[in-house]
Structure 1
Amino acid sequence: MALPRWRSWFVPIATLLAVTEVILIMVGQHVAFHRLLVWIPAVGGVAIAVGAFIATAGGAPSGSPLDRFWRRVAVAMGAVFIGAASQTVDVAVVPFNGMPPLGSRTLLCYVIGTLLAIIALLRLPGGGRTWRQLTTAVLDLAVVAVTAGVAASEYLGWAVDKFDGRASAWWLNLAMVAIGVAGVTVVVKIMSASRSPAARTALWWLAPIGIAGPLSVILMTAFRPWPHLNGSAAVLAFVGLFGALAGNAQQRAYAGHGATSSRVAHPAVYRRGAAIPLIATGLTSLLVGTVYLRTGHLTTIQVAGTTLLLLLVVTRQAFALGENATLLETVAHQAMHDELTGLYSRRSFTTAVAGAEGPHTVALIDLKDFRAINDSLGPAAGDALLTEYAARLTRLAGDRAVVARLGGDEFGLLLPGAPEQTATIVDPLVAAGDEPLSAAGHEVVVEVSIGIADGPDMYRRAEIALREAGAHTDARVVRWDASLERHVNQRATIAADLRRALHAGEFHMLYQPIVALPHGLITGVESLIRWTRADGRTISPADFVPVAEETGLILELGEWIIDTVCAQAAEWRRRYGADALDSVGVNVSARQLLDPGLPERVAATLARHGLPAEQLTVEITETAVFGGGRALATVQALSELGVHIALDDFGTGHSSLGLLRTCPVDVIKVDKSFVDGLNGTLHQEAIAGAIADIAEKMELGTVAEGVETPEQARRLYELGYRRAQGFLFARPMTVAAIDELLDPGVGMAA
């Protein structure tokens, strides 16, 4: 978020005014000029600061603590502006010889501005604190107050002497000391606040403003030889500059973090608060030592103040040590526990597994489809679901188990005993998956995948078992055995060979016809990838496609498939005419749908081969788009190209009918399980018939998959299906075999 242009000029203008003031002071020591000249950049600088604070408040949400803070600071600086204008009038109309005049009206404005600034700082939220932290903060203020008192006693004596002992000097310098306290208050606020809505950099820019009062008195005495110069004017120009810089720092924080974000202090920030007593003690010791060397004695105030300061520092450090011990305990607990659920963390769990003595079993648990639930119901519901499941897991596992959240939606159990002895925990855990959990007002049923292992290296073995359980929808619990290890090694070998095979040309495409019922003429094809190694060994797609998904090679492999299929479809179109095939189908994985560049590549491929978009059908699964988000957006972009979208394996996913409302589907491919059930109960036929009826009413095409008998084909036709695919008509075929079918007059009778 860029700052408005008129706000961006605050700092340059304030800088120009401060530089102008410095130049006037340097020139004024050699050349006399009108005494009001130095007040122009001084009053202008304060006005700029007021404008910067008002603009900064306007960038925060109305009524927020940040808005109120900057408006209060703006009012305080407004009082200083009135005081500066009043002092300018005093200088213009009151004759003086020596020290410039400073009327009671002017002094009152400065004091009011100082008090308002202190109130604004004290009311700025500093974040939640323990009672020890609050006590330590109070002691910090007391340390600063005693240090300031010791310094003020010496300052007031010096200042009154410079003012020739006049009584009014007491009031003037008391006011200047109060203004100095404002600056110290800012410093203490910055160093002790654990959390503040105001940008820390902005507060640091405000801090030097507090020394403006005492510094102006010192400069007044220094400028006595040049009555046209003024100490107040010299510092007010820089008050404006520091105010503009503070506002600018806060506005940049808006741009980087948002106006509503709180600035969380790094853990080191609070530790920097320990510098307060050290600095205060050091400064007081330096002051007292200097006074003693110069005068040979100390005043009662200086001795009493130094003694009290030492007592406060000792007390403060005692409280700080107690707070540090509590903080270390908290950090240690957080390092070993999960923040959301309160369960042990992955680090604690792996440590417990490594130190387990005697027979133990590791059970790793993954919540199926948690990402889809989290995306559809929102992160709050997702967090509530994890918390509820953690409570269920703790209750079922019992006191002897180590229960951990390992990250995301994965949990771990370390159970005493061998796997067969832990069935009393694992079996109820699986059964409980059918019971709904409450998640932010939603009742959610969550299935789980569980991997179990014991013996040496049981954590790694349980991970292998869990991966296997997650890869098969019909297996909730998988126990590790040696065959799983061999399977993992096989998958690793496949992963290593995949890229080499792609570049070596070991992949090829087969095409399974889609026919029209009842006569069986070919109307389309579905493309299917096959892998034949150089040694003649065939690798099943069921083995290499999941590995390609895991490794990410599915993106490169999928791009090759789409290019090959589009090239072949364009060749059939040129050879046999535009009406030879309605469409050529290509399967697109869930991983590919998460690639935002897929629609652009498909469009480029279609254009390169001269294939109309409507002759390409992209086949997707219900699970790939159930969660919506990026995958659904990709499907919508493909549909907008004119590509047909087919919903594969319809009826086996999460919410098939719901997807028909949200996903731009053109064709429903009914899963083989419904076709197999046609010769079973009336319920099976009722479901298959209902799907066909819904598709007809929604003007969607249907394809029945897995047709293997003439009886199935005839019954499907009676139920309203007009397209089918299966071994009854043809197995996946080569390009040459498809060419024979596309010759005029050749068909496949059912």
Structure 2
Amino acid sequence: MASTTPLLRWRSWYVPFAVLMAVADVLLIVLGTRTGFHRLVVWVPAVCGVATAVASFAATARDADGPLAAFWRRVAVAMGAVLAGAVSHTVDVALIPFDGMPPLGARTLLCYVVGTLLAIVALLRLPGGGRSWRQLTTALLDLAVVAVTAGVAASEYLGWAVGRFGGQASAWWLNLAMVAIGVAGVTVVVKIMSASRSPAARAALWWLSPIGIAGPLSMILMTVLLPWPHLNGSAVVLPFVGLFGTLAAYAQQRVLTGHGASSARVAHPAVYRRGAAIPLFATGMTSLLVGVVYLRTGHLTTIQVGGTTLLLLLVVARQALALAENATLLETVAHQAMHDELTGLYGRRSFAASVAGAEGPHTVVLIDLKDFRSINDSLGAGAGDALLTGYARRLTAIAGEQAVVARLGGDEFGLLLPGAPDATAGTVARLVAAGDEPLSAAGHEVVVEVSIGIADDTDLYRRAEIALREAAGHADARVVRYDASLERQINQRATIAADLRRGLHTGEFHMVYQPIVALPHGLITGVESLIRWTRADGRTISPADFVPVAEETGLIVELGEWIVDAVCAQAADWHRRYGPDVLGSVGVNVSARQLLDPGLPDMVASALARHGLPAQHLTVEITETAVFGGGRALASVQALSDLGVRIALDDFGTGHSSLGLLRTCPVDVIKVDKSFVDGLNGTPQQEAIAGAIADIAEKMELSTVAEGVERPEQARRLFELGYRRAQGFLFARPMSAAGIDALLDPGVGVAA
């Protein structure tokens, strides 16, 4: 087997050679009507053309697998029988004397018939995919239409053959064989029409279909070519049999190598409707045939009249069934347009229509699954889909039969609940409580927190969306019910966003710096930079108001670039004037949104290089929440650390997994949150936590900074617990760069 494998490879010359044989055949026929030559000459392209088809079928079978490989093996065997018939036919012409019709021996006829039967079997055994009962009935009617058409045509053909050849037994057998070959062509056409899913390329099946008319056409050409004994009707059509077969194999090869349309095609309504043209074409051709016969003879046979009548009835039945199928398809399309494909819930369009048409008191509840994206990324899309499906079932069970439940897209769901706010409060409470129960997602038990926005007045959908955005924007808010203040806040944020963009370009922002001091003497060792905004009209905007807006709008990236540049410029100036030993490092806060920007490390590197600031004199302060999910944010932190920039974990102890981050994140400094400092001199447990953080940092060789120190006793206790640096109002409030200059004079401290 291994030695024969190279012989079965697809050859690039198959198609050009088959085309050449067909062209040579046409030229020989044209030349043969003008001059004589040896009668075996026309059989050279005939045999070579069919042999090319056999080789191309075998090569395609080798490259395919499963049912597709079996199909091409079967048609290769069938075409091999036709090739044997072509060779046998050549021998008949060479050895049997004839005067008139060319000879066709019993052996040759048997080969042609066997090849035809094998081709029919191969086509019938080709998988066609399942269909609905309507589609199966329609396919059977199509088969009946084509069969009746073929029967009428065959009766006319046999009538012509009897009139042309008389009652010779050999002529009868020959014509019956030709009709059988025609049936093979009809089988191919019907197979194409009835297959909803086929492993064979549709284009390949269409290229095979013209082969069916080769037999009857060869008989007609035999009578046409009788004046030229060196020509033969079978020799005329066989090169085209080889050409169409080779083109069919080539169409399949394009699919196998990824250059053509998909081989396994699901029947789309538009594809199936194209099959309706074939019964109409069959009816038209039969009507034309009957009309020609009547005009020529003045009468019609019983078969012709009965066949035409039956054909019309079948077409009417077929079209009536097709109309019913179209109605079903329209209902299916309408259902898909209004429902979510994954969960089966209503979609956004139908939900919006239900909200708009709701009469009486109703409540709209919009739900967003928090952290769904990270779950989907970590567990895979399959688990994500399973999670959405499971939550859809939970939501439907909680909402009840009277509610409209919808998936609005992504991880957002909607409920339209009948009744006033008091009547729907219980449902909302159950939604919140259910959020603590795990859901099964592809073998994983997942707890999903939700953000819920509620509106129960006019303009429900829009107001519920406002409430949902408010709930999703706050880590500690799970349920937000719409009220007028939310809209005012949105309008205020929109105004701030517009002013922020303008202020960034008109120089309304400036930096202040809060000292970080050494304990216990209070000498300055570093500073943290903080952004401030004073509008042109003198009004000051709090960072608590404009930083979240900058995050939402994406302006934080542009604003952050300005901050880093300004801080690096100021730090470089201090470094040149006071030296590296006076002011160790300048801290700059970087938000979660900035860490997701892949250009952040390059931007920081450019600022350091532009101002000549050594990287170790810049500290980037990040929050635990910003890097908890890993991914792009953690990669940015690692890239910054690789530059030599120091990394400080701000507000330590308030995030998701503080101790775990010390292991996965390249941290240099821990800034302990103010809440731990406020707890000093309270219960022993609170001091134990603060002391444990200092011990852990020392063992991991990390620096610590205690934030929010406001009282001298806090500073003293922090020093006793092992803290050597602190920051807070006890030492200094944020001040201008000039204020820091005053503190940097040798010997000047900031201790209270």
Q: TM-score of the superposition, structure 1-length normalised?
A: 0.86
In 2, Cα distance between equivalents of 1:519 and 1:33: 119
Q: 1:71 to 1:487 in 2, by over 3 A?
A: farther
Do the aligned partners of 1:695 and 1:701 also contact (CA within 8 Å) in 2?
Answer: yes
Structure 1 residue 371: deviation in Å? Answer: 1.2
Instruction: For residue 451 of structure 1, give the secondary structure of its aligned residue in structure 2.
Output: strand
AA paired with 1:418? Answer: A
Within 5 Å, which residues of 2 pair with 1:589-738? 589-604=591-606, 606-610=608-612, 617-632=619-634, 646-656=648-658, 669-678=671-680, 681-685=683-687, 687=689, 704-709=706-711, 712=714, 725-738=727-740
* Structure 2 residue matching 1:363: 3-state secondary structure: strand
Residues 670 and 703 of structure 2 are in contact (CA less than 8 Å); yes or no, is this contact kept in structure 1? yes
CA 1:529–1:249 in 2, change beyond 3 Å: closer, same or farther? farther
Gaps in structure 2 of 5+ consecutive residues: 1-8
1:573-614 deviation line (CA, Å, top 9, x unaligned) = 555556666655544444444444555555555555555555
Note the C-alpha offset of 1:78: 4.6
Tell me the CA shift for residue 460 of structure 1: 0.7
1:450: which partner in 2?
A: 452
Aligned length: 744
Matches within 5 A, 1:511-526: 511-514=513-516, 525-526=527-528
| Cα distance change of structure 1 residues 412 and 31 upon mapping to structure 2, 3 Å threshold | same
Q: Which residue of 1 aligns with 2:478?
A: 476
Of 342, 346, 349, the match for 2:348? 346
Return the offset for 1:501.
2.9
- CA drift of 1:308 comes to 2.7
By how many angstroms is 1:202 displaced?
A: 3.9
User: Which residue does the alignment assign to 1:357?
Assistant: 359
Structure 2 residue aligned with 1:546: 548
Q: Is the 8 A contact 1:35 1:227 kept in 2?
A: yes
Q: For residues 419-450 of structure 1, give each alpha carbon's deviation from its aligned partner in whole angstroms, at most 9, with x where no partner exists.
A: 23321111121122111122222111111111
> Aligned residue for 2:189?
187
Letter in structure 2 aligned against 1:540: S
Distance in 2 (CA, whole Å) between partners of 1:637 and 1:411 is: 38
Paired residues of 2:251 and 2:260 also in contact (CA < 8 A): no
| CA deviation map 1:483-508 (0-9, x unaligned) | 11111111222333343333333334
In structure 1, what is the Cα distance between the partners aligned to 2:40 and 2:649? 83
Q: Of 479, 504, 507, which aligns to 1:505?
A: 507
Spell out the pairing of 1:161-200 with structure 2 (5 A cutoff): 161-162=163-164, 166-200=168-202
Give yes or no for contact 1:375–1:627 (8 Å, CA) kept in 2: no
Per-residue deviation at 1:134? 1.6
1:418 equivalent in alignment to 2:420: yes
C-alpha contact 2:127 2:198 (8 A) present in aligned 1: yes
Query: Is this contact kept in 2: 1:376–1:628, CA < 8 A?
Result: no
Report if aligned partners of 2:198, 2:263 keep a CA contact under 8 Å in 1. no
Residues 384, 581 of structure 1: CA spacing in aligned structure 2 closer, same or farther, 3 A cutoff? farther
- The residue type equivalent to 2:422 in the other structure is E
Note the C-alpha offset of 1:168. Answer: 3.1
Match in the other structure for 2:278: 276
How far apart are the structure 2 equivalents of 1:98 and 1:570? 108
Give the corresponding residue for 1:292. 294
Larger mean Cα displacement after TM superposition, 23-32 or 434-443: 23-32
How far 1:224 sits from its partner (Å)? 4.0
- 1:153-302 alignment, distance < 5 Å: 153-159=155-161, 161-162=163-164, 166-253=168-255, 262-302=264-304
Q: Percent identity?
A: 83
Q: Deviations over 1:173-208 (max 9, x none)?
A: 433333333433333333444444444444433433
State which drifts further: 345-354 or 97-106: 97-106
- Structure 2: how far apart are the matches of 1:264 and 1:614? 62
Q: Secondary structure at the match of 1:373?
A: helix
Q: State whether structure 2 residue 360 is matched by structure 1 residue 332.
A: no
Give unmatched runs, 5+ long, in structure 1: none
CA 144–549 in structure 1, closer or farther in 2 if over 3 Å, else same = farther
Deviates more, 1:67-76 or 1:334-343: 67-76
For 1:132, give the aligned amino acid: R
Is the alpha carbon distance of 1:26 and 1:453 closer, same or farther for their aligned partners in structure 2, counting shifts above 3 Å?
Answer: same
Aligned with 2:475: secondary structure?
coil
CA distance in 2, matches of 1:43, 1:586: 84
Deviation digits for residues 96-154 of structure 1 (CA, Å, limit 9, x no counterpart): 55555544555444444444444444444444422222222222212222222221222
Aligned to 2:410: 408
The residue type paired with residue 378 of structure 1 is G
Task: State whether residues 139 and 193 of structure 2, in contact with CA within 8 Å, keep that contact through their aligned partners in structure 1.
Answer: no
Larger C-alpha radius of gyration, 1 or 2? Answer: 2
Distance 1:10 1:656 in 2: 68
SS of the counterpart of 2:210? helix
Once residues 602 and 56 of structure 1 are traced to their aligned partners in structure 2, the CA distance between those partners, rounded to angstroms, is 58
Partner of 2:368: 366
- Could you tell me how far apart the structure 1 residues matched to 2:573 and 2:43 are? 87
Counterparts of 2:726 and 2:94, CA distance in 1: 101
Identify which of 133, 136, 140 aligns with 1:134: 136
The 1:446/1:227 distance shift into structure 2, 3 A limit, reads same
Q: What is the identity, as a one-letter code, of the residue corresponding to 1:545? A: V
Deviation sequence 1:368-415 (CA, Å, 0-9, x none): 111111111112221221122122222222222222111111111112
Cα contact 2:165–2:171 (8 A) shared by 1: yes
- My pick for the range that moved more, 475-484 or 194-203, is 194-203
Q: Tell me the equivalent position of 1:380.
A: 382
Which position in structure 1 is the counterpart of 2:319? 317
What is the CA–CA distance in structure 1 between the aligned matches of 2:317 and 2:463, rounded to whole Å? 55
The whole-number CA distance in structure 1 between the counterparts of 2:543 and 2:344 is 42
- The code of the aligned residue for 1:435 comes to E
SS of 2:435 mapped into structure 1: helix
Shift of 1:457: 0.9
Structure 1: distance between partners of 2:417 and 2:424: 7
Residue 151 (str. 1) matches residue 153 (str. 2): yes
Distance of 2:661 and 2:260 partners within structure 1: 36
Of 107-116 and 694-703, more deviation after overlay is shown by 694-703
Q: Deviations over 1:206-248 (max 9, x none)?
A: 4334434433444444444445555445444444444454444
